[in-house]
Amino acid sequence: MKELLGTGVALVTPFNEDHSVDFEGLARLVNYQIDNGVNYLVVLGTTGEPATLTAKEKALVKETIIKENKGRLPLVLGIGGNNTMAVVEEIKTTDLTEFAAILSVSPYYNKPTQEGVYQHFKVISEASSKPIIIYNVPGRTGKNMEPSTVLRLANDFKNIVAVKEAAGDMVQAMRIIQHKPDDFMVISGDDMIALPMVLAGGAGVISVIGQGLPKDFSEMIQLGLQKNVDEAYKLHYKIMDSVDYIFEECNPSGIKALLQKQKICNSNVRLPLVKATEKLEQKIAKFIDNY
């Protein structure tokens, strides 16, 4: 899956003041990524607030991104959940023609055993006509997907092509990289350790900050893939504080505050999320002014 090498960004869903979807802002966001060297776009990942979008809104978000992208970058679609059969149903009833792959999160809230996680992805693999990126994010799901489970899935199912590894655990990432099949990709889901993961043998990142600082972030990952360590770390340290800021009060409130500062879209989110506080907005604004 060469098209999943490098920097993917998990796009936000911009909202107007009345909390309707801001499709003009979304179009601006897509073009901003394409113009600044991002490698692929992730549609309706967690950062896109799909949990609070209606089915009709999700369809319009997909349509807008496809239309604006005009086939320029590969697209990955988030289809995941904690009801296995509902995920299967969504995969089977969604037109996936325009998408290179599916990103599917490990089941949240139910807290299945490792065998349960394996069986969940087995059923999804068998239902999908597209390659699958499995997504481990224990901070959101309440359950870590162990390296042994990831490797078992990687070895057993040809269309499970990658893991988005967001446990924030460098050792865990290295254990997967150490034992993975040659063509299986380990993609960082943590902006702060994206570069170290790439240097350890990872394939890139699915980033949040990447959509706010796409040029430098994408370049950092490319330098990492080329093992140009010193130059890559210069960019890492230039960007680093912004990663702390955007996750300080929950995602995507922080990144939306940063995108508002850059006049790409405003910072509205939907409940139960709330906008970044004024204090955080000021920190982010100061960072961008000095950047």
Closest CA to 174 of 145, 189, 159, 196: 196
Out of 32, 40, 118, 135, pick the active-site residue: 135
Out of 58, 143, 164, 283, pick the active-site residue: 164
Question: What is the token pair recorded at 124?
Answer: 């999804």
CA atoms within 13 A on the CB side of 232: 20
- Whether residue 164 lies in the annotated active site: yes
Report pLDDT digits (tens) over 220-256.
999 999 999 999 999 999 999 999 999 999 999 999 9
- Whether residue 130 lies in the annotated active site: no
For the chain, which domains are there? Answer: 2-229 (3.20.20.70)
Cα separation, 21 vs 11, whole angstroms: 13
Query: What pLDDT is recorded for position 43?
Result: 98
Report pLDDT digits (tens) over 177-226.
999 999 999 999 999 999 999 999 999 999 999 999 999 999 999 999 99
Instruction: Supply the pTM of this predicted model.
Output: 0.98
